[in-house]
Amino acid sequence: MRISLLLALAATLWLSNCNNDDETPNPTGNLVEAGAGVLAINEGGFNDGNASVSYYQFEDGALQQDLFAEANGRPLGDILQSMTLVGDKGYLVLNNSQRVEVVDITTFESEGVIEIPGSPRYFLPLDNGLAYVSDLFGSVVHLVDLSEGAVVQGIAMPQGWTEQMVKAGDVVFVTCPTSFGQAPNRQLYVIDTESHTLVDSVDVGFSPTALVQDAGGMIWVLCSGDFDLGAPGGLYQLDPLDKTVLRSFPFPDNNIGFAPRLAIDEAGQQLYYTKIDLYTLPVDANALPSEPVIPADGRDLYGLGIEPGAGNIWLGEAGDYKSRQMIYRYSKDGSLLDSALAGVAPSGFYFY
Amino acid sequence: MADPRRYSLPCILFCAMLLSLPGHLISQADTIDIPEVTVTASRVNGWQPGQDQRSIDSLQLSFLKTENLSEALRRQGGIYVRDYGAGNIATAAVRGTAAGHTAVLWNGLPLQDPMLGLSDLSILPLFLFDEARLALGGGSSLWGSGALGGAIHLGSRLEQKGGGSLSYQGEGGSFGYLGQGLRLNCGGSRFSNSTKLFLQSADNDYPYQDIFGAERRLPHAGNRQMGALQENIFRFSRRHQVGVYLWAHRAGRDIPPSRVQPASQAHQEDEALRAALDWKWAGARSSWITRLAAFRNRLRYDDPLTNTHSDSRTRSVLAEAEGTRNLFPGLDVKGGLQFNYLEARSDVYPGLPRQGRWAVFSALRWENPGRQWLAVISGRQEWVDGKAIPFTPSLSLRWKKGMGFEAGLSASRNYRLPTFNDLYWPNVGNPNLRPEEGWNQSLYLKMGKQWGAWKGQAQLSGFNYNVEDWIMWLPEGGLFRPENVRQVWSRGGSAQLRLVRQLGRGRLTAEGNYSYTRSTNERSRRASDPAVGQQLIYVPLHQGSASLSWQRGGWYLSYLQEWAGRTYILSDNSEALPGFSVGALRLSRGWSWKLFSGRVYVKVENLWGENYELVANRPLPGRYYRVGINLEWNKTH
């Protein structure tokens, strides 16, 4: 009896050893491996509490849903507006849950929560343990002390809606799209990161929405235009040192879509933007492209991201915000490589 | 925050005292019977004989008088009440249609808000109505826009015998709830009056768990509403009568955070002023009714957190004339003309949207001499701002055999006009929207039988609805805007059973209902849409309720169980609210003395403390208690 028990135990151990390799690829509990895939953030439906992060693995095209719930056994929150990667940490901004969830990017385990009183949108780390968080309704940029995990100051802004931010030297450029029912805004705002005060503004186009920095350090701003005035938006390049607009590329029409996106490739040489369809533009171009690289074909393009290395283009689809939707991987010349069903309203792509 | 138990101890002591009093049986009818009429001026009753119509049990209703219509409809089969909880918005969707597809009618006058196309059941307190009836099936041929899935009829009964009554009902309980109503009825052969005053408030600070696992009490959830309704009928002769109706209502509600939000500062104020005038004339073979109604509504919404502030006022005027004539014995004809003017002044709209709707409707009713068969054909043609919308015919047929068996059949075309928000929302409103419209067919079978001390009633019903041009707000060409995109097919059925047994001087009643609703999205803009072929959100496939009641002397004890299967919250059916099962216990004791009568009652709602939601992330209270009292002085000749 005792011998048979021992044999059974030995056999079990041996079998479990044999199976280790193929059944548990992440014995350490890691869900995300550096360079092995793309993190797609799914905004979720308003008040549905179904924001999530999906992980697509390049090797076999497998898609893992809702990394956060998998790692932490609870939902992530409501309206995942953006994610910022800083080293091995991910800062997930949950707009309607009024919080930033800090995770270890490899295990996706929660390392803390920063509560943001307001309607947080984007997170920008500064060098000295501080970060800025923009706000949809608050006429404010929140200053967060990362060691305390709390908002320590509100930087008053002249516009109701603060959106994307880019740091260049000692200043941060902040886009402020025109808020619903407010006077049209054309200014890109500048905050000094020493004094945390608004120091300057630059006139660009109507409703500055998204911005990126190119290889030469120049700032590119995507403006959405003004629907009421019928004024189209455009792309604007400006020099962050003297804060002058170097080049303007106004769009031919006002048909921009409800979620215009702007991204740049790893080398900082090629811009990608959505204006219903997806267009691309080298940073040294002299004119806007006339043809899209990827037509929307009836889809409502939502998330946009450019894969480092190969420069593949990732797009998400909005759908009705009430169902899981597709994400697409295209080569940089616009041929479809793969697609997968992600979460609700896939709105962005991040590469670790 | 008020202590939820603050009313409990004094109330329980008071109730115990009252319960120990000797009493006589207070006569209470089982259901509110709608008198059947052969020639009637109004089309409210008797012109849809083939439709499954359900009156809310008056005994159950008496426990809900200080509450809102949503509470009374929840346990009815074939209807899903989408209740945000804590006194916030609640809407009803009938037989797998949408919230705007149920007309809510007060004495036949539509109460839907022209901007939203909905009626908020949370601000329709049951105290103000003596009758609440649910009509399952389309009714556009009689009621016009909105009666696509069904209709809820609300009305009053006025004293005609002479004399008067004064009654008070008050109820208090957990989470700072207090509801009170005062009703004065008086009248005689020449004049009748009914005046009702109503006041309700609650803190709604019930415990819940947010999605991050924290146990909290619902913050910022208090509300208060008050209403006054006066109805007067002047009878000038046996043939003429004039009715004057005035209703003022005000509700202020803090909107609590959802389970995913840490806080909320949103607040909503609703105000309504409704006035109606009617003149009725009844001859030997003809009758006429003309009415004029003017409604004003104001909705203010303020949310400092999201910087949202809106102030919307709507006005509507409805004028109609309706005549009925008996052509031959058993054959009546009805014709009517209606004009409805709607206007919205809102800081969300750039202009002052207004709409004028003209409609003509007509119906022919035939009943065979043996009165087994009753058939009505009716039709309505409406013009909106001069533009004709589809003609909506209807056929409604009922057959009775003996006392126990009845069958009904109806088929109709129905519609719902786009709301003002659909048409005029800045930048995205779509003035080219077509009305949502479609056909529906339904049938029912009713059987009744008595075996010794047992009495049984059973009903089976089935339906098939098709709705075209269903309006959805979707991203389209880069804007989020309403489009006529969806085609919905809803079909299903329900079963009801009621058994009554006399037990000595007592009576035992068992009731149950079950409904099955399969409502699917049949068409989308894109073939690859994952929502195609899937069940609509917030339409449970399975739903039911059951109750067991015992009545003896002045005592009444009832246990109710309500149940629903899972309810999808995503259009591709990839996420659902889990099903739930909620119990309730109700006990009352009535007594009478000379002209006075009274009743005291205790309710335990959500008896087993089920943690459930009717709308995703809008928590509902766990077990809670209420005690109430009803006092009446009645002197009718």
Q: What is the DSSP string of A188-222?
A: EEEEETTTTEEEEEEE-SSSEEEEEE-TTS-EEEE
Count of domains observed in chain B: 1
Query: pLDDT tens digits, residue range B482-518?
Result: 999 899 999 999 999 999 999 889 999 999 999 999 9
Query: What CATH number does the domain containing A225 carry?
Result: 2.130.10.10
**pLDDT (0 to 100) of residue B41:** 62
pLDDT at A10 over 60: no
User: Is pLDDT above 70 for A8?
Assistant: no
Note whether B374 and B362 are within 8 A (CB).
no
Q: Among A294-298, B29-33, B281-285, B516-520, name the one with the lowest average pLDDT.
A: B29-33
Nearest Cβ partner for A74 among B213, B574, B617:
B213
pLDDT tens string B468-486: 999 998 876 667 889 998 9
Residue A59, in any domain of the structure: no
B570 SS3 class: coil
The whole-angstrom distance between B567's CA and the closest CA on chain A is 13
For residue A181, the chain B residue with the least C-alpha distance is B348
User: Could you identify the residue written with the tokens 């109730």?
Assistant: B15
Percent of chain B whose pLDDT exceeds 70 = 92
Interface contact A336, partner B, CB < 8 A: no
Residue at token pair 């939902």: A75
A292 CB-contact burial (10 Å; exposed 0-12 / middle 13-18 / buried 19+): middle
Query: Coil, strand or helix: which one is A18?
Result: helix
pLDDT-based confidence at residue B637 (cuts at 50, 70, 90):
low
A324–B260 C-beta distance less than 8 A:
no
Residue A22 has pLDDT above 60, yes or no: no
How many structural domains compose chain A?
1
CA distance B412 to B148: 9
Give tens-digit pLDDT for A242-275. Answer: 999 999 999 999 888 878 999 999 999 999 999 9
Contact B570 A276 (CB under 8 A): no
Is A326 a domain residue? no
Contact B617 A48 (CB under 8 A): yes
Residue A189 lies in a domain: yes
Q: Does position A207 have pLDDT exceeding 80, yes or no? A: yes
| A19, burial (CB in 10 Å: exposed 0-12, middle 13-18, buried 19+) | exposed
Instruction: Give the count of Cβ contacts less than 8 A between chain A and B.
Output: 104
Residue B213: its chain A contacts at CB < 8 A?
74
**Which of B529, B619, B545 minimizes the C-alpha distance to B582?**
B545
Look at residue A345 and tell me if it is in a domain: no
Q: Answer whether residue B57 shows pLDDT above 90.
A: no
Task: Assign 3-state DSSP to chain A and report helix, strand, coil percentages, each to 5.
Answer: 10, 45, 45
Q: What is the mean pLDDT of chain A?
A: 91
| Chain A residue closest in CA terms to B258 | A47
Q: Say if the Cβ atoms of A74 and B211 lie within 8 Å.
A: yes
Q: Please give the average per-residue pLDDT across B580-602, as a whole number.
A: 96
Residues contacting residue B423 through CB under 8 Å, at least 6 positions apart: B353, B429, B430, B431, B433
- Residue A180 tokens read as 């619903």
The whole-angstrom distance between A41's CA and the closest CA on chain B is 17
Q: Chain A residues with CB inside 8 Å of B618's CB?
A: 47
Whether B290 and B297 have beta carbons less than 8 Å apart is answered as: no
pLDDT band for B530, please (50, 70, 90 cuts): confident
Q: pTM for the full model?
A: 0.88
Are B478 and A48 within 8 A, CB to CB? no
Judged by phi (left if over 0) then psi (alpha if -120 to 50, else beta), residue B609 lies in: left
Show the domain range for A220. 119-254
Which residue of chain B has the CA closest to A276? B478
d(CA B48, CA B141): 10
Chain A partners within 8 Å of B530 (Cβ): 319, 323-325, 341
Which of B260, B306, B572 is the best residue to mutate to test the A interface, defined by the most A CB atoms within 10 Å of its own CB? B260
Q: Out of B475, B525, B574, whose CB is closest to A258? A: B475
Supply the pLDDT for residue B31: 34
**Token pair of A134 as six digits:** 């923009």
pLDDT on residue B45:
84
CB contacts, 8 Å: B526 with chain A: 298-299
Residues of chain A contacting residue B263, judged by C-beta atoms under 8 Å apart = 98, 117
Closest CA to A149 of A74, A80, A89, A73: A89
In-domain check, residue A84: no
Q: Does A48 fall in a domain?
A: no
Min Cα separation B469/chain A (Å)? 17
Q: Which residues contact B462 (CB under 8 A, 6 or more apart)?
A: B442, B443, B444, B491, B492, B493
CATH number of the domain within which B459 lies:
2.40.170.20
Strand runs (DSSP E) across A285-345, as ranges?
301-306, 313-317, 324-330, 336-344
More confident residue, A235 or B477: A235
Provide the residue range defining the domain that includes B401.
4-328+337-636
Q: Give per-residue pLDDT as tens, A181-202.
A: 789 999 999 999 999 999 999 9
Q: Compute the distance between CA of residue A201 and CA of residue B540 in angstroms, rounded to an integer.
A: 54
Chain B positions with Cβ closer than 8 Å to A: 211-213, 258-263, 305-307, 427, 472, 474-480, 525-526, 528-531, 537, 569-572, 574-575, 616-618
